[in-house]
Amino acid sequence: MAEGNEIIMKTLEDIQSLQDFLKTEMSIGEPAEGTIKAEIRVYNDAPLANGGSEIVFMGVGLVVIDGRERGIRKLNEKIKTSRPSDHVEERQKYNQGEWFSGTNNERFPAYTSDENSHGQILFPGESVLYEITVSEDTLPYLDIRVDGSVSRRHLFHISRPMLVLKERGLPLVAETFQALDKIDLYSPLLSLTGAIPAFSSKTTLADLDAYRGKIEEAIGHVKQVMPELNKVFHSAPNQELRDLMKQHIGKYLTTSERMCNRVLETLSGSDTGRMKESTEELKAHLLTLDEVKRAKVELMSQFGIDS
């Protein structure tokens, strides 16, 4: 009996440890005109799940306790809420395909109206930001807590693919990855790094013209490959591949084009500070290509395909 109790307690501890994925960060600004602003970021740090068993937090919100005898009669203190990192595609996966159960029951919903009424819902990678503005003398009396609970519906949800069908579809998946590899998606963009001038007193008009030429070449290349990427996108055999092309590859290319156009705009002027600033932003973005490539490799691995 004692051994059984130990197993039960260990299982309970493992389940309770899931709460550690609900992370919180708080920052307090400098006082201004008698008020002070605090920011509380709450985010779901759980990994993305495949096949159900997803760690989703429901009913997330703040509990504000005023330690003074009378406390806060009215919430004159302003609390603003924003969702800076919603993952729409993570929720949309529950809407794929047609549901059939042999009855008239609805399929498994991403969230119910009741769940949505009790507080914020955070899927893996999502966050909610609270901005609280209070009088400076009120802050020391406040006890602010983050409440939430792990969704049992999502934690114990099962989504099991038929492996026989998955194996039959592998040739089409492999063809899609091969089609992507045949498109020279990134070369002109990567060559930009070596063409960046110093933006110093020694920078010549010839240096800027050469840089401008590389930028224009990169923009033209993105415009050329996007229709090719769209063609592969529309022929992809599943949503996972389309998400890779839209959320990672396509987003990287369109953002690159937008930033390149901004650099071109600054090169048309004479403000070297703006030129350097826009170039640094472009350079930082180009370095995120490793994340795009990693997402592709991870998806290939999920399908059992190596490079």
For residue 60, the cross-strand partners are 120
- Full pLDDT tens readout for the chain, 307 residues: 566 677 766 766 777 788 899 999 999 999 998 889 999 999 999 988 766 789 999 999 999 888 887 766 565 557 889 998 887 777 878 888 888 888 767 788 888 889 989 999 999 999 999 999 888 888 888 899 999 999 999 999 888 888 888 888 899 999 999 999 999 999 888 888 888 887 777 778 888 888 889 999 999 999 999 999 999 999 999 988 999 999 999 999 999 999 999 999 988 887 888 888 999 999 999 999 999 999 999 999 988 887 6
pLDDT score recorded for residue 183 = 94
Query: Which residues of the chain are in CATH 2.60.40.10 domains?
Result: 2-155
pLDDT score recorded for residue 248 = 94
pLDDT score recorded for residue 273 = 84
pLDDT score recorded for residue 135 = 86
pLDDT score recorded for residue 149 = 93
CATH number (2.60.40.10, 3.40.710.10, 3.40.50.720, 3.60.15.10) of 2-155 reads 2.60.40.10
CB neighbours of residue 38 within 10 Å: 18
pLDDT score recorded for residue 2 = 66
The token duo for 222 is 């993105």
User: Which amino acid, one-letter code, is at 279?
Assistant: T
Give the DSSP letter string of the chain. -HHHHHHHHHHHHHHHGGGGGEEEEEEE---BTTEEEEEEEEEE-PPP-SSB----EEEEEEEEEE-SSS--SS--SEEEEE-TT--HHHHHGGG-S----SSS-----SS-HHHHTSSEEE-TT-EEEEEEEEETTTGGGEEEEEEEEE-HHHHT-B----HHHHHHHHHHHHHHHHHHHHS--SHHHHTHHHH----STT--HHHHHHHHHHHHHHHHHHHHHHHHHHHHHHH-SSHHHHHIIIIIIIHHHHHHHHHHHHHHHHHTSS-HHHHHHHHHHHHHHHTTHHHHHHHHHHHHHHTT---
pLDDT score recorded for residue 96 = 80
